[in-house]
Structure 1
Amino acid sequence: MNNHIYLRMRSKVFVEGGTHELPNIYIATLLKNIENLGYTLAKDLLCVIKTLTPTDFEQFYFELVEALKSAIGANAIYKPMYPNFPKQVMGMDEYELYSNAIMHYLSFGTLLPEYEKDERFPLLDLTKLKVIALGNEHEFMHIFTHLVNAKTSISEIDKKTLEWFIAYYGRDIVDYLPDKITLKENIALVSKLLLEHEIFSQKQLFKYFNTSTDVLRLAVCLSDGDISLATNTRFRSFKRAERRLLLALLEQCNHIEEDMITYKGQWIRLGERIHPGEYYKKYPNTYKSFQILRDNKKIETFNSKVEKALLYNNSEHAVHLLKRKPGEFARRLDHLLRISHTDCHMILSKFKNVANQVSSTVLLQVMAHFKNRNTHSDIRVFFPKGNVGKAYSIPNELPDIDQTTCQEVVKICEGVLINKYMEKDTLGHVYIDKRLKNYIVPFSQRSANKSLKTIVRGSKIHLHEAAKTIRSFIYWKEAKDSTTDIDLSAVMYDSKWHYIEHISYTHLKSDTYKACHSGDIVSAPHGASEFIDLDIESVRQYGGRYIVLSVNSFSQHKLSELPECFMGWMTRECPNSGEIYEPKTVQNKIDITSQTLISIPIIIDVIDNKIIWTDLSLTHHPFWCNNIEGNQKGMILIGKAMTNFAKPSLYDLFMLHAMARGKLCYNIDEADTIFSIDRGVTPFDNDIIISEYL
């Protein structure tokens, strides 16, 4: 399991060397087999492997191959409806395609058209192998430290990684625990795991908890609920020791009831489980706070005072209040500047005085917001917190703010960030790859799905110029005792997001755009797969720009309910050569685990020659069916949102660090610190970025 994690996070493995001398045939066999998966091994790793005994080598070999196959989807058996795709589909007439589909549907997925599979010409595409390097246990253990030290929310797969580390290393993990955990959700998760494995005593946890909301998250986590608190939790019955712990943690907090009001309903339900009345003498403040909640006594909270001041456009009083909570001040800065016609200088002056108390993640987002504040866009996009990757949009009706004022906000944020980063260790000579402008800073990965390469929503991946065809694919397994129909679809739009064509189960091919679908399979008792080929030049030539790929659950099963469901894409120069699924041509693969019926993993921009990583879900679907035709409006909104993303890039972030604690250089081989897409710190090193650079 440890090398599974190390491969996913760093493209590395660590191996304990031996004193044996393996025959070369072992190494040659290993290299040949993983080359077919698109990988090879670094020289220093090969030197270590060569010292293993045959038994140890065999164990390493099977673990490595299993991990690589799982990462790229090569552990599945792909049997599309048309075995000679894409040439076969493009050569068939509409009548034959239609009649085959009807026969399949009427048999409830049990009958498939029978075609003999032709011998396929060997793969003509030249592929660049991905190198697996030699790692060490010290670096591997720091993956745990980085995830615990995260400044922003982490994904479900990262939470499972933390769980594995604590379960596997037990008490030894204490050496890698920080004294302070910044991310509130991590406080709850790590505390729960430490308690479950009896690694920490209850008293040792007290240093991590400061507010009543921290305690609520722990109670939610102990009940396997949503620690983002975006949804309500059904609390379990707590053991007496757990009840005393929660009450004791609450008692040490200040302003308990004021914080409780935000999640009043959840606190009342929690109170019914932990019975604060039984311990009213030992924890009097906690008991009093629960009584205030239950009796519906009015509490004038900090937020209510601020809202009242803003309602009456009293910016001076609002600023006076917000100085107490600089983070909230930063988040409301736009509103304050909009309602103030004469006091902008006062607002900026007060904000500047407290900006150094604002977290770097908030400052980065405020800086990016005001850099693009007066850039006119039709819509404003919001990504609500929670475990589902959703996006909401509203018409952009915000009035402009004076550009000089916007520039002053940017200057304040930039200055404070540089001062914060100057406190860190020097970076020496720094090389920053300009291509990092295409990658977004990872502010929230809470709802991110597991993927071969972890990428942040809105980031843009350059397509190789030689890539003539994008072949997307899905594979899924049926939900238990229930026929499951998952559909892969592609919709093409022009540069203004006007619809021009689609490829789906309702329309298997387009001669104009040289696009085709491998056939709609509606049942997957043993697993099923679908493919779509898209000829990039044809779409470009006939006025297309954006292609939205989507995964739709026609059978109304939530995608998270399936035993297995993933989507990926390959780039092919010669699409009729090689097998339909060729592991070495897979560019990325994403596990689809959305708690919805519709997932939009990527958008292809054929003009800029980039893949836009979306990893988003649509939460609503037509009442009559779930398909491309019915989901146009939602897809266009998501498309517009993701192609007009005003978020700070990794280039911006790393440039601030270089300004604060390094010296820029333009020769990568002369750099002490490298930020690039394939060397040094890369966009795929999310744990390092959210721990050390935010």
Structure 2
Amino acid sequence: MRMNRIYLRRAGKIMLKHTPDTEGIKRLPKGYLAAALRNLQGLGYTLSPALFRAVQKLTREDFEQLYYPLIADVKRMIGAHVNYAPVYPGFPEQVMQEDEAELYFNAMYHYYTWELPDVETAQRTPLEDQVKLKAIDLGSITEFRTLIRQLMEAKGSISAEDQKDIDAVIANTANEELDELLPPEIPFKENAGYVAASLLKHDKADVARISPYFKTATDVLRLAVAWSEGDVSLAAPTRFRKFKRRERRLLLGLLERCQTITEDMLRYKERWIRLGEILHPSEYKLRYKRCEEAFDILRNNKAFTTFNGSVELALQYHQMWTALDLLAQRPGEFARRLAQLLRMTREPEFVVMAFGEVANQVSTPVLLQVKNHFARQREGQELRVFFPKGMIAKAWAVPNTQPELDEGSCREIVDLCEQTLIARFSVQPSLGKVYIDERLKDYHVPFSQRSASKALHTLVRGSRIPMAEGNTIRFFCWWKEGEVDGTPTGRVDIDLSAVLYDHNWQYMEHISYTNLRSAQYQAAHSGDIVTAPYGASEFIDLHIPSMVEYGGRYVVATLHSFTGQPYCNLPECFTGWMMRKKPRSGEIYEPATVSNKIDVTADTQIAIPVILDLVERTVIWTDLSLTRDPFHVNNVEGNQKGMVIIGKAMTSLKKPDLYDLFTLHAKARGQLAVSPQQADTVFSVEQGVTPYHIEQIMAEYVV
């Protein structure tokens, strides 16, 4: 059942154990299947024709074993597994129509007593919105394992939820079937460290199986970190576990096989020293001589010339040819320093020429980012945006004060990257006739999903999603206090807020617990709840046309942990939004209308899941966390400066997009088609390879 839960969440498919020959077997009663379909439709789902036909062949007992976990999994995916009880059950009308004194009294009553005020229950009419159902399809074990293998083969970092899925699949795969699951190579070494650690944890690894994944000392360090349940990105220090003797020999054996280990170990000197205290390399100095020598240099601070030190020395003394010769040995580092080199020289053509000789050795993710960077050099971006490595989804933005580069040099580098990528992609199998949806320009290429939150539909930060039909967007959040790993959370108060800005990012108004409704446009908050022993929920309704008419454009949605607990220390906390055409009909929370639901689990107190562009009717996927409050007041009013900077940064973010990536593949491997019907391969928002096929894109197209 765990495998189907993963398959459903990642691909919208499930597997059946078997589809028996129905001869002599009593078929599933029609009433059972009809009731199941009605229940699924209430959640916004249905069965595909293939799955419908397969399910019909099941016995009643097999169907029940499939159906009940399926319903439970769908409910959890969209947030329908909990009870929603806002302060005002007649939201939004009750909030919009109640007088100020009553709103104030009810709020103070709750703050003083922690009990919800006695508010009249409103009668609600049935849901009038027409909902487009999402079909759950029939999958297979082969397709499922391919999906997980693609996740392992991703050319970028994967999320904590991705790692859990890989671990669960490894744990539930028989040893003799692992070769079908495991790829021969795992190019991104964070992923290699985690996969190998999972195999070791479940006693399914040996040196022959995992050694091809490790080529550098840092690869081995990541394995030790993953084995110790630490941060494989190495952005944060790890407390290493006490390794058994055979485990120490395995790590030292892998390290001994790597090339130039000393220089690589010096990159993380203090961590290697701490790890060495546990590995005891001196006990094996005759068997692992190179390891002993490297640890000796680290522990005793012996002189050792490093590559980066040599490059910095050459640049410091303006020895450009020496620097170029050195960087040609490490093309990836060359690519990352291109802009710096071009700004330092009066002869940029020689830098471009030198890079051209090694460009084919630079990884595809780096080439795509270099191409995008130089293509946009002269666009005059106000901010430079950085996403620091680590498990917390932070973003830093600084004023863009860098001088413009020579237009000719930028164009040459863009052409060079494009030619290199087309040549690389051309050796892949033909795509035939290819249709590429122009809307893919709004979706970014997935390079790093390390800090991505678990969501109903996960995207790359900065991507823009068209809003579904409807004029009202309804945000929701739900959280619960209790115990986590035996530690009580205490009282937990999570606040849902929405801040409105104009097209110049000038603050206009906010909707939050301090301002339950707007007098300028149609917007309302369902009421502040300050404790959640049995779970609590808050909602915000935003009527888009009235906000645009008022002059608003951007809305920043935020969650604040008012009582100070990090989200990772809560039993459960999630947020999401619905698009409603008839917001006064149906329940406040209608599962079938949920556009997306995001689990909030970061080690922070402030989360920014999305930003809305009301004029373009797009949802900008941000999935960000703030690690500290600039003004030390944990509510939306105290965060305006930080919100504006992040808002400007995310709405102006220019990253490599999927349209450009797939166009390069089409040039290299196929011919463009004018419509999906005429194409052998389709790249689109709704069909074929979509922006939500992140595993497939990272494994097969960022090659």
Smaller-chain TM-score bracket: over 0.9
Query: Match of 1:589, SS?
Result: strand
Read off the aligned partner of 1:103 and give its amino acid letter: Y
Task: Give, in whole Å, the separation in 2 of the partners of 1:58 and 1:408.
Answer: 62
Task: Give, in whole Å, the separation in 1 of the partners of 2:503 and 2:534.
Answer: 41
Deviations 1:582-629 (A, max 9, x none): 001000000001110000000000011100000001111156530001
Query: Does the 8 Å CA contact 1:12/1:135 hold for their aligned counterparts?
Result: yes
1:477 and 2:483 matched: no
1:585 and 2:593 matched: yes
**1:542-561 correspondence runs (5 A):** 542-561=550-569
1:147 and 2:154 matched: no
- The match for 2:606 is 598
Query: Match of 2:172, SS?
Result: helix
Query: Does the 8 Å CA contact 1:165/1:173 hold for their aligned counterparts?
Result: no
Deviations 1:104-154 (A, max 9, x none): 1122x2x11112312101111111111112222211111121011111001
Change in Cα spacing, 1:99 to 1:311, as seen in structure 2 (3 Å) is farther
Query: Match of 2:532, SS?
Result: coil
- The match for 2:456 is 452
Query: Does the 8 Å CA contact 2:631/2:639 hold for their aligned counterparts?
Result: no
Task: Give, in whole Å, the separation in 1 of the partners of 2:687 and 2:506.
Answer: 39
Query: Match of 2:173, SS?
Result: helix
Task: Give, in whole Å, the separation in 2 of the partners of 1:520 and 1:504.
Answer: 8
Task: Give, in whole Å, the separation in 1 of the partners of 2:402 and 2:452.
Answer: 30
Change in Cα spacing, 1:622 to 1:406, as seen in structure 2 (3 Å) is closer
Alignment partner for residue 509 of structure 2, among 484, 501, 504?
501
- The match for 2:314 is 309
Query: Deviation at 1:222?
Result: 1.2
Read off the aligned partner of 2:44 and give its amino acid letter: G
Name the Cα RMSD after superposition. Answer: 1.1
Read off the aligned partner of 2:511 and give its amino acid letter: I
1:127 and 2:131 matched: yes
Identity percentage over the alignment? Answer: 52
**1:618-629 correspondence runs (5 A):** 618-621=626-629, 624-629=632-637
Task: Give, in whole Å, the separation in 2 of the partners of 1:678 and 1:135.
Answer: 19
1:432 and 2:436 matched: yes
Query: Deviation at 1:316?
Result: 2.4
- The match for 1:162 is 166
- The match for 1:663 is 671
Query: Match of 1:489, SS?
Result: strand
Query: Match of 1:451, SS?
Result: coil
Query: Where do 5+ consecutive residues of structure 1 fail to align?
Result: none
Task: Give, in whole Å, the separation in 2 of the partners of 1:396 and 1:24.
Answer: 65
**1:266-415 correspondence runs (5 A):** 266-341=271-346, 343-415=347-419
Read off the aligned partner of 1:405 and give its amino acid letter: S
Query: Deviation at 1:324?
Result: 0.3
- The match for 1:244 is 249
Query: Deviation at 1:198?
Result: 2.3
Deviations 1:298-321 (A, max 9, x none): 322111111222333433222111
Task: Give, in whole Å, the separation in 1 of the partners of 2:657 and 2:245.
Answer: 48
**1:47-62 correspondence runs (5 A):** 47-62=53-68
Task: Give, in whole Å, the separation in 1 of the partners of 2:247 and 2:593.
Answer: 51
Query: Does the 8 Å CA contact 2:201/2:227 hold for their aligned counterparts?
Result: no
Task: Give, in whole Å, the separation in 2 of the partners of 1:665 and 1:34.
Answer: 37
Query: Match of 1:80, SS?
Result: coil
Query: Where do 5+ consecutive residues of structure 2 fail to align?
Result: none
- The match for 1:214 is 219
- The match for 1:5 is 6
Query: Match of 1:595, SS?
Result: coil
- The match for 2:494 is 486
Read off the aligned partner of 2:480 and give its amino acid letter: K
Task: Give, in whole Å, the separation in 1 of the partners of 2:627 and 2:521.
Answer: 30
Change in Cα spacing, 1:399 to 1:477, as seen in structure 2 (3 Å) is same
TM-score (norm 1): 0.98
Read off the aligned partner of 1:517 and give its amino acid letter: H
Read off the aligned partner of 1:316 and give its amino acid letter: W
TM-score (norm 2): 0.97
Deviations 1:428-447 (A, max 9, x none): 11111111111110110000
- The match for 2:261 is 256
- The match for 1:44 is 50
Task: Give, in whole Å, the separation in 2 of the partners of 1:553 and 1:170.
Answer: 43
Query: Deviation at 1:206?
Result: 1.9
- The match for 1:536 is 544
Change in Cα spacing, 1:589 to 1:364, as seen in structure 2 (3 Å) is same
Task: Give, in whole Å, the separation in 2 of the partners of 1:118 and 1:247.
Answer: 68
Greater shift after overlay, 121-130 or 523-532?
121-130
**1:46-85 correspondence runs (5 A):** 46-85=52-91
Query: Deviation at 1:669?
Result: 1.3
Query: Match of 1:523, SS?
Result: coil
Query: Deviation at 1:560?
Result: 1.0
Query: Does the 8 Å CA contact 1:431/1:668 hold for their aligned counterparts?
Result: yes
- The match for 1:467 is 470
The runs of at least 4 consecutive aligned structure 1 residues that moved more than 4 Å come to none
- The match for 1:106 is 112
Alignment partner for residue 40 of structure 2, among 9, 19, 34?
34
Task: Give, in whole Å, the separation in 1 of the partners of 2:520 and 2:75.
Answer: 36
Query: Does the 8 Å CA contact 1:479/1:561 hold for their aligned counterparts?
Result: no
Alignment partner for residue 511 of structure 1, among 519, 539, 551?
519
Task: Give, in whole Å, the separation in 2 of the partners of 1:359 and 1:624.
Answer: 42
Task: Give, in whole Å, the separation in 2 of the partners of 1:248 and 1:147.
Answer: 27
Read off the aligned partner of 1:545 and give its amino acid letter: R
**1:187-202 correspondence runs (5 A):** 187-202=192-207
Greater shift after overlay, 653-662 or 172-181?
172-181
Name the count of aligned residue pairs. Answer: 690
